[in-house]
């Protein structure tokens, strides 16, 4: 299984994915529709458009975003260059991001010169899928993925076509997105409880602008002249559509807004209608999984999301973790005791210190060493008994008799 949290995952991706020549027959509309179906456009990925299926089960949200980002960039390369060579794509992607990212903040400068091109791209994608909020803020605000990653794909298209990137391309596209989302939220017939969360999603995703309420009053005030190709136009239309959705439908007034926007973008009515229908079907089907449509208790949301992530990490590192645990007799005794009896303050401190030492030796568990990571230790402790042999608890019961 491809593990985007470990080095070498991009090379493994291309070894496993055998791209058929028929994929080169895709046009821009087909590429966009297939990409939209994965959820990548909306920042909530539900599948990957790949020749050999890749499951999203038991993956961290960040890992899902990484795979989606790589695959969509690659799809854009194949579409634009009529070429499926993975090495050519990787080299172009690295040069593109080297041009894009200011030298003072370039992640490539932190990579050894001897690093492979795929290793460089792994580092870049890791940095690009991050939002502007930290782990805990994301969980509390329901923001898990980046809603504007597709702007990278649009910019990559520009670079591939021209060999350079238009000045301030990201600033201008983000500014248009912000204006349209702000205007669409104002045009809603009723205010939804999800609107604030949706605004937070975009606020955490913008990189080059500040997300704020636009002064634009009507669609006619929008300056959309900068949008020069269909993919850009389809994208902003769909973002407007998802921001207008509420109560499992789009009201007539909101449909009018989308048709009016589509008219200004020179998009056909049939495409607009299909866009509205797709967004409705997508949200109805995946609503329970999409963070900003689940206005649950923030503390419960944080605990549920974090517990799931920690469990994934534990299962992946089960053998290594059990081996490390078994080498500490005192820790094993304390963990066994904790399954049926409350530990005192000193015992809890010992468990914390020894578990953190173990996490240092297991790379995937270094999340517990990050600021605030110690707050996750109770979740780790909760799952440890499930990793150990049944005798782990049975023997302890005999000792307590």
Tokens of 65: 């975003």
Tokens of 33: 């529709």
Ordered DSSP codes for 318-329:
HHHHHHHHHT-H
If one compares 110 and 151, the residue with the highest pLDDT of the two is 151
* Residue 305 predicted with pLDDT over 80: no
48 with 67: CB under 8 angstroms?
A: yes
Report pLDDT for 67: 95
Which tens digit of pLDDT belongs to each residue from 158-182? 999 999 988 889 888 988 888 888 7
Which range, of 47-51, 62-66, 97-101, 377-381, averages the lowest pLDDT? 377-381
Residue boundaries of the structural domains of the chain: 1-132+144-160, 166-295, 298-400
Report pLDDT for 212: 55
Helices (H) and strands (E) in the chain, counts: 18, 0
Q: Which residue has the tokens 């048709």?
A: 259
Distance CA 372, CA 368 (A): 8
Report pLDDT for 134: 45
- Confidence band for 255, pLDDT divided at 50, 70 and 90: confident
* Residue 329 predicted with pLDDT over 60: yes
Tokens of 63: 């890992």
CB-count burial class (<10 Å; 0-12, 13-18, 19+) for 43: buried
Looking at every residue in the chain, the average pLDDT score rounds to 78
* Cα end-to-end distance, the chain, whole Å: 45
User: What's the whole-number mean pLDDT along residues 236-250?
Assistant: 77
Name residues whose C-beta falls within 8 Å of residue 156's C-beta, 6 or more positions apart in sequence: 73, 76, 77, 93, 96
* Residue 100 predicted with pLDDT over 90: no
Which tens digit of pLDDT belongs to each residue from 196-219? 556 555 665 666 666 555 566 788
- Confidence band for 395, pLDDT divided at 50, 70 and 90: very low
* Residue 117 predicted with pLDDT over 90: yes
If one compares 312 and 257, the residue with the highest pLDDT of the two is 257
Tokens of 193: 């409880």
- Confidence band for 396, pLDDT divided at 50, 70 and 90: very low
Q: What percent of the chain has pLDDT over 70?
A: 72
| Angle between helix 269-286 and helix 230-244 axes, rounded to 10 deg | 50
If one compares 208 and 268, the residue with the highest pLDDT of the two is 268
Which tens digit of pLDDT belongs to each residue from 3-39? 898 899 999 999 998 755 446 778 999 999 999 999 9
Distance CA 83, CA 60 (A): 31
Name residues whose C-beta falls within 8 Å of residue 209's C-beta, 6 or more positions apart in sequence: 171, 174, 175, 178
How many residues appear in the chain? Answer: 401
Q: Which of 284, 234, 282, 281 is nearest to 258 (CA)?
A: 234
Report pLDDT for 31: 95
If one compares 398 and 387, the residue with the highest pLDDT of the two is 387
CB-count burial class (<10 Å; 0-12, 13-18, 19+) for 301: middle
Which tens digit of pLDDT belongs to each residue from 354-387? 888 888 877 777 767 765 566 667 777 777 777 7
- Confidence band for 140, pLDDT divided at 50, 70 and 90: very low
* Residue 398 predicted with pLDDT over 50: no
Phi then psi for residue 86, to 5 deg, are: -65, -40
User: What's the whole-number mean pLDDT along residues 93-111?
Assistant: 69
Which range, of 199-213, 217-231, 307-321, averages the lowest pLDDT? 199-213
Give this prediction's pTM: 0.72
Report pLDDT for 379: 72
218: three-class secondary structure by DSSP: coil
Phi then psi for residue 220, to 5 deg, are: -60, -25
């Amino acid at each position: 299984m491809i593990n985007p949290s470990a080095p070498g995952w991009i090379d493994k991706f291309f070894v496993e994915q055998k791209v058929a020549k028929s994929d080169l027959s895709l046009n821009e509309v087909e590429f966009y529709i297939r990409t939209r179906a994965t959820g990548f456009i909306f920042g909530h990925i539900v599948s990957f458009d790949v020749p050999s299926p890749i499951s999203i089960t038991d993956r961290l949200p960040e890992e899902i975003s990484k795979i989606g980002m790589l695959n969509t960039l690659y799809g854009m390369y194949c579409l634009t260059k009529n070429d499926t060579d993975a090495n050519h794509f990787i080299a172009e992607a690295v040069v593109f991001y080297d041009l894009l990212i200011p030298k003072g903040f370039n992640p490539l400068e932190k990579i050894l010169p001897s690093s492979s091109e795929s290793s460089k791209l792994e580092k870049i994608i890791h940095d690009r899928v991050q939002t502007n909020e930290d782990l805990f803020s994301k969980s509390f605000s329901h923001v898990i993925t980046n809603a504007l990653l597709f702007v990278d794909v649009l910019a990559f298209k520009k670079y591939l076509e021209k060999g350079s990137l238009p000045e301030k391309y990201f600033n201008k596209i983000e500014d248009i997105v912000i204006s349209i989302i702000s205007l669409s939220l104002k045009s809603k017939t009723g205010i939804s409880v999800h609107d604030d969360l949706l605004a937070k999603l975009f606020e955490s995703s913008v990189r080059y602008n500040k997300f704020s309420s636009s002064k634009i009053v009507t669609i006619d005030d929008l300056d959309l002249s900068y949008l020069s190709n269909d993919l850009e136009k389809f994208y902003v239309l769909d973002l407007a559509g998802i921001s207008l959705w509420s109560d499992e439908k789009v009201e007539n007034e909101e449909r009018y807004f989308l048709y009016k926007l589509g008219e200004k973008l020179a998009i056909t009515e049939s495409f607009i209608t299909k866009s509205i229908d797709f967004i409705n079907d997508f949200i109805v089907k995946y609503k329970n999984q999409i963070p900003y449509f689940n206005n649950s208790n923030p503390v419960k949301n944080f605990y549920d999301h974090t517990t799931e992530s920690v469990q994934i990490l534990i299962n992946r590192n089960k053998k290594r973790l059990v081996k490390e645990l078994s080498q500490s007799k005192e820790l094993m005794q304390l963990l066994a005791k904790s399954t049926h009896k409350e530990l005192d303050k000193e015992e809890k401190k010992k468990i914390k210190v020894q578990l953190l030492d173990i996490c240092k030796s297991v790379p995937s568990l270094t999340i517990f060493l990050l600021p605030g990571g110690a707050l996750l230790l109770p979740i780790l402790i909760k799952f440890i008994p499930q990793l150990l042999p049944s005798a782990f608890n049975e023997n302890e019961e005999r000792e307590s008799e």
